[in-house]
């Protein structure tokens, strides 16, 4: 029995949860929250083992600690064989080879968004930049109209909103925003079917539906998932990495001199302070760990972001080291449910920091003005205001 309380819904935890995570690993590697009725795994080996055992740790009842609202089928909330069937249809879309041709498009977008702020010498790295770029890219890939960027970004922001501090369920406004998203998608699908076909993901999914490979509900579910995940994860990763580089000026100076280290710095950010904080699973059978038994039907939180700082796996894990290049981290999950869009997120983030370090290499963050995202599942910021030496043009130096 732990001598301390761990409540992942508490806003007080979110600014700096890492000391609490260290206590979980040391004192309560299998933690039970009696108030909310779930277990927490926090050590690297336990987290990795759990997400690898998909027959025991099921995703079908949802991947959040909260009770799952009624929703459409998505690959992340499926178990084999349904998961295998759907994942097979998606796996080739976001491979490194498949996303590589997007580099010039991503770079042009990054320079454009940065360029709006260079003369002023001020930018909010999240609100003015990373909130725009990933949405523009995933919208381009799916085939949503460009003029809908702001609407979609606003809706998905509302979906991620939390209620008051310590409230477990998301507010009704989040559910309303999700319903509006599905209505939007139905409208766009109807317009596409009435018009010309296009070589984009929407066209691909509708073709699969016509062939009987996907149901209409599965099409909607995957479009929702890709729009949300393609925006949220990379938006938070960029903000987190900017903040950690600012905190570690020697590491920032190192990768500014040697841009080939940026991919290593991305992996270290995913390990040290990645956006994917935790996923939940539901047990299909009893499991005994550390002398305690979790019962079939129990909810289990798998704390990736704690596992990534486990000293049992990483040497000096509390040090942010841009040369570490930890490719075995859990920042994109692991196993059958590992993030489909990982290659795209890595590509976007590499290009972003090539451009940031070229245009504003010595940016300063106003730490007192930072606004945190409040979520038990996503780690990141809503606002990261920064200043830098004004300049006229963007680009790499």
Please give the pLDDT value at position 13. 87
Strand-by-strand arrangement of the 38-41 sheet: 30-33, 38-41, 299-302, 279-283, 57-58
Mean pLDDT of 349-357: 98
The rounded Cα 103 to chain-centroid distance in angstroms is: 20
Please give the pLDDT value at position 297. 97
Confidence band (pLDDT; 50, 70, 90) for 231? confident
Please give the pLDDT value at position 397. 38
**Is 200 within 8 Å of 50 (Cβ atoms)?**
no
Q: What is the pLDDT of residues 100-147, one digit of tens each?
A: 999 999 999 999 999 999 999 999 999 999 999 999 999 999 999 989
**Structure token pair of residue 325:** 């290049």
**Structure token pair of residue 191:** 């317009």
Please give the pLDDT value at position 3. 76
Residue among 281, 268, 276 at smallest CA distance from 241: 268
Mean pLDDT of 172-186: 88
Q: What is the pLDDT of residues 66-107, one digit of tens each?
A: 876 667 888 999 999 989 998 888 888 999 999 999 999 999
User: Average model confidence (pLDDT) for the chain?
Assistant: 92
Buried b / exposed e along 355-393 (16+ C-beta atoms within 10 A): bbbbbbbebebeeeebeebbbbbbbbbbbbbbebeeeee
Confidence band (pLDDT; 50, 70, 90) for 396? very low
Alpha-carbon separation of residue 343 from 82, 99, 100, 340 (angstroms): 24, 7, 9, 8
Facing residues of 69 across strands?
none
Please give the pLDDT value at position 167. 58
Please give the pLDDT value at position 163. 60
Q: Is 62 left (phi over 0), alpha (psi -120 to 50) or beta?
A: left
DSSP state of 259: G
**Structure token pair of residue 279:** 């996923």
Q: Residue 140: enclosing H or E segment and its boundaries?
A: helix 133-142
Using CA atoms, how far apart are residues 304 and 184, in angstroms rounded to an integer?
33
Q: Is the pLDDT of residue 211 over 60?
A: yes
Provide, for the chain, the percentages of residues in helix, strand and coil under a 3-state DSSP scheme, each rounded to the nearest 5.
50, 10, 40
Using CA atoms, how far apart are residues 371 and 367, in angstroms rounded to an integer?
9
Please give the pLDDT value at position 228. 86
**pTM of the full structure:** 0.94
Number of neighbours of residue 129 by Cβ within 10 angstroms: 24
Please give the pLDDT value at position 232. 86
Q: Is the pLDDT of residue 375 over 90?
A: no
Q: What is the pLDDT of residues 263-295, one digit of tens each?
A: 999 999 999 999 999 999 999 999 999 999 999
Q: Alpha-carbon torsion 32, 44, 57, 288, what sign?
A: negative
**Structure token pair of residue 150:** 């702001």
Using CA atoms, how far apart are residues 381 and 126, in angstroms rounded to an integer?
7
Burial of 191 (0-12, 13-18, 19+ CB in 10 A): exposed
List, in sequence order, every beta strand (DSSP E) within the chain. Answer: 30-33, 38-41, 57-58, 122-124, 279-283, 287-289, 292-294, 299-302, 364-365, 371-372, 381-383, 385-387
Q: Name all domains of the chain by residue range, CATH numbers in brackets.
A: 11-387 (1.10.630.10)
């Amino acid at each position: 029995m732990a001598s301390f309380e761990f409540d992942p819904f508490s806003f007080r935890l979110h600014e700096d949860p890492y000391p609490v995570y260290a206590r979980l690993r040391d004192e309560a590697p299998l933690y039970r929250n009696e108030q909310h009725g779930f277990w927490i795994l926090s050590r690297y080996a336990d987290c990795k083992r759990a997400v690898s055992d998909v027959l025991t740790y099921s995703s079908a009842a949802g991947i959040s600690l909260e009770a799952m609202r009624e929703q459409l089928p998505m690959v992340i909330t499926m178990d084999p064989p349904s998961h295998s069937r759907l994942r097979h249809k998606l796996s080739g879309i976001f491979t490194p080879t498949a996303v590589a041709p997007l580099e010039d498009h991503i770079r042009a977008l990054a320079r454009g968004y940065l360029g709006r702020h260079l003369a002023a010498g001020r930018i909010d790295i999240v609100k003015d930049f990373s909130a725009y770029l990933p949405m523009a890219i995933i919208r381009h890939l799916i085939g949503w109209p460009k003029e809908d960027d702001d609407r979609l970004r606003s809706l998905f922001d509302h979906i991620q909103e939390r209620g008051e501090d310590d409230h477990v369920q998301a507010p009704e406004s989040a559910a309303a925003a999700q319903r509006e998203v599905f209505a939007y998608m139905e409208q766009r699908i109807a317009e596409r079917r009435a018009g010309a076909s296009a070589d984009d993901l929407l066209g691909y999914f509708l073709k699969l539906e016509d062939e009987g490979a996907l149901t209409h509900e599965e099409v909607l579910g995957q479009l929702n998932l890709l729009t949300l995940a393609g925006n949220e994860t990379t938006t938070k990763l960029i903000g987190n990495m900017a903040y950690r580089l600012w905190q570690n000026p020697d590491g920032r100076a190192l990768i500014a001199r040697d841009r080939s280290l940026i991919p290593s710095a991305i992996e270290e950010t995913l390990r040290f302070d990645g956006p994917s904080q935790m996923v939940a699973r539901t047990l299909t059978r009893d499991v005994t760990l550390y002398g305690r038994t979790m019962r079939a039907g129990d909810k289990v939180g798998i704390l990736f972001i704690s596992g990534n700082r486990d000293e049992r796996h990483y040497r000096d894990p509390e040090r942010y080291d841009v040369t570490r290049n930890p490719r075995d981290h859990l920042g994109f999950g692991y196993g059958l449910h590992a993030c489909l869009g990982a290659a795209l997120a890595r590509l976007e983030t590499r290009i972003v920091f090539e451009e940031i370090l070229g245009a504003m290499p010595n940016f300063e963050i106003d730490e007192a003005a930072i606004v945190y995202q409040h979520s038990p599942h996503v780690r990141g910021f809503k606002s990261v205001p920064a200043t830098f030496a004004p300049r006229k043009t963007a680009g790499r130096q």
